[in-house]
Amino acid sequence: MSFEKVFPTAKTTPVSDEFDISATLGEGSFAVVKKGVKKSTKQSFAVKYISKANFDGDLEELGNEVHLMLDVMNSPYVVRLVDVYESEKDLILILDLISGGELFEKIVQKGTYSEADTSKVMKQILLGLMEIHAKNIIHRDLKPENLLCVSPDINAVDDVKIADFGESIKLPEDELAIGLRGSPSYIAPEIWLEEPYGPKADMWSLGVVAFILLGGYLPFEEPDPDDVEAGKAEDKELSEIVIAGKYKFEEDAWNDVSDTAKDFVKKLLVVDPEKRLSSAEALMHSFIMGSSSTKARTKALDSLKNFNAKRKWQSVAEVVMAANKLKRLSAFGSEKAKKTSKSRIKRIFDQADKDGSGSLDKEELRSVLRKIFRKSDVSFDSKQMRKYAALQIAEHDSDGSGTIDFEEFAELYQKIMDDPEIPDDLKKGAKTSEKEQSSSKSKSRSKKSSSSSSSTKKKSSSSSSKK
């Protein structure tokens, strides 16, 4: 059966002709990974099935991960792509089987851990990032789950490979990326701010990983609702906390951590990316170059066990819900969007008010509505979005000006945040008139980023980006 190929050189013969496929090793929103044993050599591999159906027909974007992995396939610091197959339903990647498991899991199983171990792990990751960044690639999802140990040996925690390039992007020369990508706790401030960003966004994520390895807890977390209610903590969203860039070296967790290690973390968790260490600069830091303490850090290991247990305890449903919310609300929303502050809404309004008139017309409102709803699980119908914007102006335009001012926009915004689901009449496939159906073109929005002009921006324009 013929079908449109995502990857031109992919094999179209059944993968089962060459591999015995068995147990499922992992499952995510877009892919399933199974164990495959090559029949001719008996060698084991990881076989990743990426469903085309999850990409709304925009098959060109689906090949992004493959091209990126081929770019770095010779690096000893990333999971290697061995071969590519394709069927009518799936793009199938044959990858090195990394049998040592996740880094954090291995450390907990090992039962002992030192500052020197952290230094060795950081060096391995930095060597990988340096190769990736040299090719103008940003990983954009550096987190514990994507750091895998090669060897099953319980004591081998420093042979680490970077995995999962599904959120990555390869940038044209002298361009920066735009768009919210990654896992919330590891996303850099410039991404939350919707500013153009480069490879140093990965360095922030690495700083968060280093912080956890040394301290046993996340540097940036939303406050406990009970503490907020009791007046012990200020009610802030994760994005606001990350943008502020304030964290604490708690005495109990950090009293046996060297000043050198703390300095390493400080120089990665810098809000201004221009002042943040690059991968090459971080490799030259004394924490990586020098000798670190080999003393077992029992208390830190206990904290890491608790962190890891909490991370693993989350149900699949909770993870999917969080991912969907991130996609829907982008930098405009949050897990506590219903309590969005007026100052934050004002910032959104000012960004949308392109001509500085103090009000939003239909096109300005349409644009900001797309941003509020973007990266949802459905595609938008552009004509319906324009109609929706016009209807919202009609509903919230109290003075009959044909535009909405800030107070009117704030009312609309809060209404949307109270119920952030995409209105049915905005979705692709929503019923329209016969005339609209014949003239409307169906353009799917990709759930993955690409290196197209829509996801990159010239570096020269970064100085004018909104804060």
Rounded (10°) CA dihedral 215, 216, 218, 219: -10
- Measured CA to CA, the distance from residue 451 to residue 455 in angstroms comes to 6
Phi, psi (degrees; rounded to nearest 5) at 158: -105, 0
For residue 414, the SS3 value is helix
- Measured CA to CA, the distance from residue 270 to residue 187 in angstroms comes to 13
Tell me if 397 sits within 8 A of 348, measured CB to CB: no
Of residues 465, 463, 446, 466, the one with CA closest to residue 63:
446
Q: Is residue 141 annotated as a catalytic residue, yes or no?
A: yes
- The position carrying tokens 């929103």 is 29
- Measured CA to CA, the distance from residue 447 to residue 61 in angstroms comes to 8
Question: Pairing state of beta strands 169-170 and 160-162?
Answer: unpaired
Question: CA 168, 169, 174, 178 torsion: positive or negative?
Answer: negative
Quick count: other Cβ atoms within 10 Å of Cβ 373? 24
**Of 90, 141, 164, 381, catalytic:** 141
Please state, in angstroms and as integers, the Cα–Cα distance from residue 80 to each residue in 47, 84, 105, 335, 439, following that order: 12, 12, 21, 36, 45
Q: Give me the amino acid identity at 227.
A: D
23 burial class (0-12, 13-18, 19+ CB within 10 angstroms)?
exposed
Of residues 449, 451, 446, 377, the one with CA closest to residue 166:
449
Q: Largest Cα–Cα distance in the chain?
A: 76
Show which residues are catalytic.
141
